[in-house]
């Protein structure tokens, strides 16, 4: 039966999704994780990496150009076909070229996700809104720092019917 995905799961990605854990000692992987965390302290980055290794429901994935990491997405699979984006970053020189969008599309397609959640600041919210996520403010978690919850749900179409 022909099946068409709508939304972020609908378009092909240009890069192959790879497991970044084997590449975790590459300085650019650590740099991307630091950018996603918004910190530069190596101990914090290491803790985040350790959590991906220790937690079976977590995956640290990304795109490589040869051996050079271009972007990273970290997921926590919270239910069947449902995940939360824990970390997301694209190398600075590749930003605004569609890589972030392709990372999200790739994981949605690869894992046949029906739901994907994320949280972040105003910039993250603008990014996820552009990808079709529903974005809602959860207020200021620190003075002057507004946070947003972002959620996307699949709307697969079969023979013209949504399900
Ligand atoms: C957020 C981030 C991952 C986006 O990746 P990216 O590859 O630059 O994003 P894309 O090129 O796929 O952008 C897709 C759309 O999202 C929106 N968008 C992306 N970055 C944006 C920004 N900084 N401000 C507002 N909207 C933005 C735009 O609508 C964009 O489409 P356009 O370029 O055609 O206008 C990247 O900026 C990044 O690594 N930031 C630092 C780490 C970070 O803040 N991580 C937390 C993200 S949850």
Instruction: Dig out the tokens for 163 from the structure.
Output: 């399900």
Residue 137 maps to a domain = no
**Residues 6+ away with beta carbon under 8 Å from 84:** 75, 76, 78, 116, 117, 118
Backbone φ and ψ for 80, nearest 5 degrees, come out as -60, 120
**Residue 72 · residue 102 · CB < 8 Å:** no
Residue 121 maps to a domain = no
**74 is in which domain, residue-wise?**
3-111
Q: How many domains does the chain contain in total?
A: 1
Backbone φ and ψ for 31, nearest 5 degrees, come out as -65, -40
Ligand 1 contacts CB of residue 124 (under 6 A): yes
Residue 23 maps to a domain = yes
Residue 147 maps to a domain = no
Residue 97 maps to a domain = yes
Ligand 1 contacts CB of residue 98 (under 6 A): yes
Determine the distance separating the centroid of ligand 1 and the alpha carbon of 126, expressed in angstroms: 8
Per-residue pLDDT of the chain (163 residues; tens, 9 = 90+): 333 344 465 555 678 999 999 999 999 999 999 999 999 899 999 999 999 999 999 999 999 999 999 999 999 999 999 999 999 999 999 999 999 999 999 999 999 999 999 999 999 999 999 999 999 999 998 899 999 999 999 986 544 444 4
Q: What is the pLDDT of residue 4?
A: 38
Ligand 1 contacts CB of residue 127 (under 6 A): yes
Instruction: Give the burial class of 51: count Cβ atoms within 10 A of its Cβ; 0-12 exposed, 13-18 middle, 19 or more buried.
Output: middle
Q: What is the pLDDT of residue 13?
A: 60
Determine the distance separating the centroid of ligand 1 and the alpha carbon of 114, expressed in angstroms: 22
Residue 70 maps to a domain = yes
Task: For residues 118 and 81, give the distance between their C-alpha atoms in angstroms, rounded to a whole number.
Answer: 15
Residue 16 maps to a domain = yes
Ligand 1 contacts CB of residue 120 (under 6 A): yes
CATH code: domain of residue 84: 3.40.630.30
Task: For residues 98 and 114, give the distance between their C-alpha atoms in angstroms, rounded to a whole number.
Answer: 22
Residue 134 maps to a domain = no
């Amino acid at each position: 039966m022909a099946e068409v995905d709508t939304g972020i799961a609908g378009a092909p990605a240009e890069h192959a999704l790879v497991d970044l854990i084997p590449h975790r000692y590459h300085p650019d992987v650590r740099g991307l994780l630091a950018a996603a965390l918004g910190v530069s302290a190596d101990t914090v980055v290491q803790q985040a990496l350790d959590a991906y290794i220790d937690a079976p429901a977590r995956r640290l994935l990304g795109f490589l150009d040869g051996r050079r990491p271009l972007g990273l997405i970290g997921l926590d699979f919270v239910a069947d076909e449902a995940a939360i984006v824990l970390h997301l970053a694209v190398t600075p020189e590749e930003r605004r070229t569609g890589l972030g969008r392709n990372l999200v599309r790739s994981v949605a397609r690869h894992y046949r996700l029906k739901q994907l959640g994320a949280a972040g600041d105003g910039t993250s919210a603008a990014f996820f809104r552009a990808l079709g996520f529903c974005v809602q403010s959860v207020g200021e978690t620190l003075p002057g720092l507004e946070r947003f919850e972002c959620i996307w749900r699949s709307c697969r179409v079969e023979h013209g019917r949504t399900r």
